[in-house]
């Protein structure tokens, strides 16, 4: 079951990147302290040069309209599907096109985020890319640890041996 959530986690990570990139330029999220959601912005740890910061800001400006329209399209398609699902008179055959539209809108947004990420990583030096990869691996590890249930952590073992 947990394997089914890995693609979702990757999509969420791809979606979060542009939002985090916004935070590195502004230093604050909307009322939540430094960076996105109160955490240190992703690119802030990479010791970016002023030229790199300017390049990332230009990339953000380039992609922002597509992100906004893509998010709106995905939201509207999902809302249409949700409304149809809640309507008992909606036919099953009518749900499939709505589902396909919602999936296509989410995938288009994913492609935009991925293109942004590729271009963003192209701005980094090899050392910064290595640091980025290390931070990404650490984030993934933390996410996996958070998704383990109680009793699943290291050192929990099978319990005491049965008494005879």
Q: What is the pLDDT of residues 15-42, one digit of tens each?
A: 444 444 444 444 434 443 443 333 346 6
- pLDDT interval class at 160 (50, 70, 90): low
Work out the end-to-end distance of the chain between its first and last CA atoms, rounded to an integer number of angstroms. 37
Rounded Cα gap, residues 55 and 35, in angstroms:
19
- pLDDT interval class at 8 (50, 70, 90): very low
Rounded Cα gap, residues 144 and 137, in angstroms:
11
Rounded Cα gap, residues 118 and 112, in angstroms:
10
pTM of the model: 0.60
- pLDDT interval class at 43 (50, 70, 90): confident
Q: What is the pLDDT of residues 50-67, one digit of tens each?
A: 999 999 999 999 999 999
**Domains observed in the chain:** 17-143 (1.20.120.1490)
Q: What is the pLDDT of residues 73-126, one digit of tens each?
A: 999 999 999 999 999 999 989 999 999 999 999 999 999 999 999 999 999 999
pLDDT of the residue at 30: 41
pLDDT of the residue at 156: 55
Distances (CA, A) of 154 to 140, 142, 148, 149: 17, 14, 10, 12
- pLDDT interval class at 163 (50, 70, 90): low
Mean pLDDT of the chain: 77
């Amino acid at each position: 079951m947990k394997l089914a959530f890995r693609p979702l986690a990757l999509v969420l990570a791809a979606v979060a990147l542009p939002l985090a990139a916004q935070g590195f330029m502004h230093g604050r999220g909307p009322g939540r302290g430094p960076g996105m959601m109160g955490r240190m912005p992703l690119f802030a740890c990479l010791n970016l040069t002023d030229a790199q910061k300017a390049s990332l800001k230009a990339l953000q400006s380039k992609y922002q309209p597509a992100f906004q329209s893509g998010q709106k399209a995905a939201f509207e398609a999902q809302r249409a599907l949700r409304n149809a699902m809640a309507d008992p008179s909606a036919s099953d055959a009518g749900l499939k096109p709505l589902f396909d539209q919602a999936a296509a809108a989410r995938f288009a947004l994913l492609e935009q985020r991925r293109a942004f990420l590729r271009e963003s990583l192209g701005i980094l030096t090899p050392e910064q890319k290595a640091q980025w990869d290390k931070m990404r691996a650490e984030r993934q590890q933390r996410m996996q640890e958070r998704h383990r249930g109680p009793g699943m952590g290291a050192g929990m073992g099978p319990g005491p041996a049965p008494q005879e």
